[in-house]
Amino acid sequence: MNNFEREEERIRNLFDSVSSEIERDNEVRDSSSDEEDHVSASEHETDSDQEAESGTENDSEDTSGEDDIPLSTRLDVLFGKNGTQWKKNPSTQNVRTRSVNIVSHLPGVKQAAKNAKTLIDAFFIIF
């Protein structure tokens, strides 16, 4: 069996396993929709809950401030509605400019067009 056939067999096995998982999920979802779940909420706090909360407070003191900060302030890039990426900070200026971005000629009329005094002269230069 060559590499292509092995890879094809591996992909086929992955596809079969994923499709069987999807079928199982659909069966579970169908069976659970027939039955109504009973959920009761408890309003009281137990001592074990308080101990667990106090144990995690010390660990999360450093990161609790990070959770309050919006994700956009932690990123160096902003995203526009159309998916355009805008950097928050300007790129470094001490880097060599790529040759593609250097303007090699200035915009404007060429030498022959500078000498055209009338509209007809300019027309004959173009055509």
For residue 96, being part of any structural domain is answered with no
Confidence (pTM): 0.23
Q: Quick count: other Cβ atoms within 10 Å of Cβ 125?
A: 13
For residue 5, being part of any structural domain is answered with yes
Residue 13's domain spans which residues? Answer: 1-31
Number of domains in the chain: 1
Give the C-alpha distances (Å, rounded to integers) separating 62 from 52, 68, 75: 18, 12, 19
Between 94 and 81, name the one with better pLDDT. Answer: 81
pLDDT in tens, 14-27: 888 887 887 877 77
pLDDT in tens, 31-74: 655 555 555 565 655 555 555 445 445 544 555 555 666 665 66
Total count of residues recorded for the chain: 127
pLDDT in tens, 95-122: 777 788 787 777 777 777 888 889 898 8
